[in-house]
A and B are shown apart, each in its own frame.
Chain A
Amino acid sequence: MPQLDTDLSAVGAGLDALDAPSQEQRPSLWKRFVRTTVPPLIAFALLLGAWQALWALAFWPEYQLPSPGSVWAAVAEAVETGRAFEVLWTSVSRAVLGFLTAVVIATPLGLLIAKVRVVRAAIGSLLTGLQSLPSVAWVPAGILWFGATPSTIYFVVLMGSVPSIANGLVSGVDQIPPLLPRVGQALGAGRMAAARHILLPAALPGYLAGLKQGWAFSWRSLMAAEIIATSPQLGEGLGQYLHNGSALNDISMVIAAIFLILLVGVGIELLVFRPLERAVLRARGLTGAL
């Protein structure tokens, strides 16, 4: 049997120093800011320039293609009168509430589908099918069932986002290396403990992708519902604002509404999901895509 002399332990320490993957230096805050912010700004400026040029060439009449200036004026007016904030608040609060409800419903549902074979066989494909069904299709049914009330709006949002979130969790669980649950079992984890300490954290990247898609689906379902279902009872959300612009034949208002809808989508992605995703992937050493 070998004796561990000082030589061998020194060899071990040397190996640790040589073999450990070298830590990449994170670039400075300023550099990262320049790298991530400048390209989209340039793209946006180019787009704006092309739009202005097209408008100046006057191929299309003013009521079809407004100038960037007049759209900006519509946005500025909505902001000045405070209407923009009311409209944004109505829609964003609805979307967030609907999304959170969807998370609460979809998470246990996804776990059930992923881990219980009968459940997967029974409703797995249905859920994937629902994902490809445009949630606008639920609006007429919702209006017949619940009337033009917030219930219709939330119903449509849930039908849009629950399948995405549940499916994300299912694929997250499916992609767990089979060795990890076995290790969990060997370490003495019961079913519940394994779900809490191994399954859910291991499935987190897939789950997060599902959440991200679920948010996008709840936001676009909400817009679809708000554009179609308009009534005084519902108040004015972004969708109604867009609908009103269209009713008034005010193309500047329509484009302004689309701009605001996009702004919320990009804003939530950049402020919530991008940092979350980054933190999760970086902790696991999956930095390739970042």
Chain B
Amino acid sequence: MTATLETPTALSDVDAAVTLSGVRKVFGHGPAGVVALDGVDLTVAPGEFVCLLGASGCGKSTLLNLVAGLDAPTSGRIELTTSRPAVMFQEAALMPWLTAARNVELPLRLAGVKRGARREKASELLSLVRLVGAGHKRPHELSGGMRQRVALARALASTLGAAEEGTPGLLLMDEPFAALDAITRDVLQAELVRVWRETSTAIVFVTHDVREAVRLGQRVVLLSSRPGRVVREWSTVDCDEPVVIDEITTHLREVISGHAAA
């Protein structure tokens, strides 16, 4: 493993928000080590909405952690041209001692933004996720869907708030709607697409739900399991949704049943 180990750096390559080349991640050492990702090449264009799809054990979350800079790849390169990426998890993970507005302000506060500007940005983002008037509420006073929207506003604050004007943002989402009920999930998916259009942020969205992936993404990337590799990609712009869903589902099943023998 001689490849360069680089932390995400801005490059002149402007037509890609994220570039992964030959990314490999091994947990543990020697023969006992588990290869989570192997030779992953992936490019996300600025403002693109990409869905990563795969069964459990395909290293989706590992991949997100690497792009977010929470973990370093064993080998390979990850290049970002965006501002600092923001991560959203399956749980909203709001700070329970802060109000909704203060939660949104937190990343700005950590970035040293002045109080007045912070307040203004937070209320702007809260109205973007349709939570005007809920800013003074504590997380326990909000429903699951509302909490996840506060988390979305906080993620946007984290990637857009402290960056220079014009720097594109990057949102990494790790099955953010998996814990919500079907109706709420439906509404939040639509909200996310609306917010994405309004903010022109690039989104990498991890899910194991084919329908969700096809519905949200402009591009669906299927990953294999153990080790995770890119198997195939589908563009979902102007496609026949049911046909693509069927095709991807068949493919996903093949990938999963390939593990039965092993």
Q: How far is the CB of A195 from chain B (nearest CB, A)?
A: 12
Complex-state Cα separation, A180 to B145, whole angstroms: 19
- A1-54 contacts to B, CB under 8 A, are 1-4, 8-9, 11-13, 15-16, 18-21, 23
- Judged by a CB distance under 8 angstroms, whether A92 is at the interface is no
Looking at B17-25, B27-35, B88-96, B245-253, the stretch in contact with chain A turns out to be B88-96
- Judged by a CB distance under 8 angstroms, whether A232 is at the interface is no
A284 close to B97 (CB less than 8 A): yes
- Judged by a CB distance under 8 angstroms, whether B176 is at the interface is no
A4 close to B190 (CB less than 8 A): yes
Q: How far is the CB of A5 from chain B (nearest CB, A)?
A: 9
Contacts known (A8-B187, A197-B110, A202-B97); A16 close to B146, Cβ less than 8 A: yes
Q: How far is the CB of B197 from chain A (nearest CB, A)?
A: 9
A285 close to B216 (CB less than 8 A): no
Looking at B3-11, B36-44, B74-82, B134-142, the stretch in contact with chain A turns out to be B134-142
Q: CB-CB < 8 A to B144: which residues of A? A: 19
* Residue of A2, A187, A283, A284 touching B158 (CB-CB under 8 A): A187
A285 close to B138 (CB less than 8 A): yes
* Residue of A3, A13, A183 touching B93 (CB-CB under 8 A): A183
Q: CB-CB < 8 A to A188: which residues of B? A: 84, 107, 110-111, 158, 162
Q: How far is the CB of A284 from chain B (nearest CB, A)?
A: 4
A1 close to B215 (CB less than 8 A): yes
Q: How many A-B residue pairs have CB under 8 A?
A: 103
- B49-102 contacts to A, CB under 8 A, are 68, 70, 84, 86-87, 89, 91, 93, 95-98
* Residue of B95, B139, B162 touching A198 (CB-CB under 8 A): B95
B158 close to A21 (CB less than 8 A): no
- Judged by a CB distance under 8 angstroms, whether A201 is at the interface is yes
A16 close to B145 (CB less than 8 A): yes
* Residue of B93, B106, B146, B162 touching A197 (CB-CB under 8 A): B106
* Residue of A15, A184, A189, A198 touching B183 (CB-CB under 8 A): A15
Which range holds the interface residue count of chain B? 35 or more
B143 close to A182 (CB less than 8 A): no
A285 close to B143 (CB less than 8 A): no
Q: How far is the CB of B143 from chain A (nearest CB, A)?
A: 3
Determine the residue in chain A with the shortest Cβ distance to B236. Answer: A1
- B138-163 contacts to A, CB under 8 A, are 138-146, 154, 158, 162
Q: CB-CB < 8 A to A15: which residues of B? A: 143, 145, 183-184, 187
Complex-state Cα separation, A19 to B146, whole angstroms: 9
Contacts known (A179-B91, A186-B87); A11 close to B97, Cβ less than 8 A: no
B97 close to A183 (CB less than 8 A): no
A204 close to B97 (CB less than 8 A): yes
- Judged by a CB distance under 8 angstroms, whether B208 is at the interface is no
* Residue of A180, A185, A285 touching B140 (CB-CB under 8 A): A285
B138 close to A19 (CB less than 8 A): no
* Residue of B93, B158, B191 touching A180 (CB-CB under 8 A): B93
- Judged by a CB distance under 8 angstroms, whether A263 is at the interface is no
Q: CB-CB < 8 A to B190: which residues of A? A: 2-4, 8, 12
- Judged by a CB distance under 8 angstroms, whether A76 is at the interface is no
- Judged by a CB distance under 8 angstroms, whether B193 is at the interface is yes
B138 close to A283 (CB less than 8 A): yes
Q: CB-CB < 8 A to A23: which residues of B? A: 141
A1 close to B158 (CB less than 8 A): no
- Judged by a CB distance under 8 angstroms, whether A193 is at the interface is yes
Determine the residue in chain B with the shortest Cβ distance to A179. Answer: B93
- Judged by a CB distance under 8 angstroms, whether B232 is at the interface is no
**9 pairs, CB–CB < 8 Å, chain A vs chain B:** A15-B187, A16-B143, A21-B142, A21-B143, A177-B93, A182-B93, A185-B70, A284-B97, A284-B140
